[in-house]
């Protein structure tokens, strides 16, 4: 019983560690497309043409938002898998998914 409890908390710790690693990676991308590409590197990137507009302008007014969107959906998908791998998904008795009405 004690051993089982220890295993459980160890498993949870590992789950948490992997989760935080995913979060860090995604936040680095988050900062690179917004704060870096559209602000810190705005001047050099405005010399680079991206179709009809400068690259930095595209990141500032379109690309960053699209990337944010991909990041959130990727995280939701990735965490669904991680929950399953560590067997920590929640058990909902009434309905199996959170999606359907």
Residues contributing to the site for another protein (CB under 8 A): 9, 12, 15-16, 19-20, 23, 26-27, 30, 34-35, 38-40, 42-43, 46, 50-54, 56-58, 60-62, 64-66, 68-69, 71-73, 75-76, 79-80, 83, 87-92, 95, 98-101
Could you tell me if 97 and 59 are in contact, meaning their C-beta atoms sit under 8 angstroms apart? no
Which of 92, 77, 69, 100 is CA-nearest to residue 22?
A: 77
Name which of 72, 70, 78 is nearest 18 in CA terms: 78
């Amino acid at each position: 019983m004690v051993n089982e409890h220890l295993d459980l908390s160890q498993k949870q710790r590992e789950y948490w560690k992997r989760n935080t690693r995913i979060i860090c990676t995604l936040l680095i991308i988050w900062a690179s497309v917004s704060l870096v590409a559209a602000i810190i590197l705005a001047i050099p990137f405005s010399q680079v043409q991206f179709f009809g507009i400068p690259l930095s302008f595209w990141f500032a007014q379109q690309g960053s938002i699209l990337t944010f969107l991909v990041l959130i959906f990727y995280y939701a998908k990735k965490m669904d898998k991680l929950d399953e791998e560590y067997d920590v998904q929640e058990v909902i008795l009434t309905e199996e998914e959170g999606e359907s009405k």
